[in-house]
Amino acid sequence: NTGSWDITQPLTPPSYILLTMALAMKLGLAPLHFWLPEVIQGSTMTTAFIITTWQKIAPMSLIFLTMNNLSTSIFLLMGLLSSLVGGWGGLNQTQTRKIMAYSSIAHLGWMATISSIMTNILIMNLLIYLIMTTSVFLSLIISKSKTIQDTTSTWTLSPTLTIIMMLSLLSLGGLPPLTGFIPKWLIMEE
């Protein structure tokens, strides 16, 4: 349509809406999130780890590059919806991979919300999310915990691992004195 292969060129409305929806589906943003919890639950812990971390970098890079051309209102709406769906969906889960899937949906909702306002907070939020999710998944992989019930027996194997897992999960949830609260606080400030 533009006569150029450069993705940073101004796009026509149908093309930027299509790009926005494609990136939202790849990230698992609501309302295009339905595939993410089931795929993560059906995969191994290592594959779930890759889907929730490494697979988010490319679409977030494209969002960062094309944010000037993408629809701000669509991203704000999807961000709000994703934060709500991720928070509510994870409440009644006992499977650790599904909890992490809904956590991914919620965190990406926060990132989608701030993407059109301040991209430096977006990058900081993405990096903190990747570090916290890596910590939780590595703890779950080491302890072989597939359900919340499995995590209760981790204390006898390694008290240090249990404490790290607990603090990482609380930080991922955004508890105020921990690291995961900082990006959410900055997003709310903006």
DSSP string, 44-82: -HHHHHHHHTHHHHHHHHHHHHHTTTS-HHHHHHHHHHH
pTM of the model: 0.89
For the record, the structure tokens of 168 come out as: 């990482």
Q: Which residues of the chain have pLDDT under 70?
A: 1-6, 8-11
Domain assignment present for 175: yes
Residue 1 lies in a domain: no
pLDDT recorded at residue 50: 94
Residue 180: per-residue pLDDT: 86
Residue 7 belongs to a domain: no
Would 58 be classed as within a structural domain?
yes
* Number of separate domains in the chain: 1
Residue 155: predicted pLDDT: 82
Q: Decide if 119 is inside a domain.
A: yes
The pLDDT value recorded for residue 131 is 93
Predicted local confidence at residue 146, as pLDDT: 86
Q: Is residue 46 part of a domain?
A: yes
For residue 6, tell me if it sits in a domain. Answer: no
Coil, helix or strand for 134?
A: helix
What residue numbers bound the domain in which 145 lies?
Answer: 13-189
Domain annotation covers residue 5: no
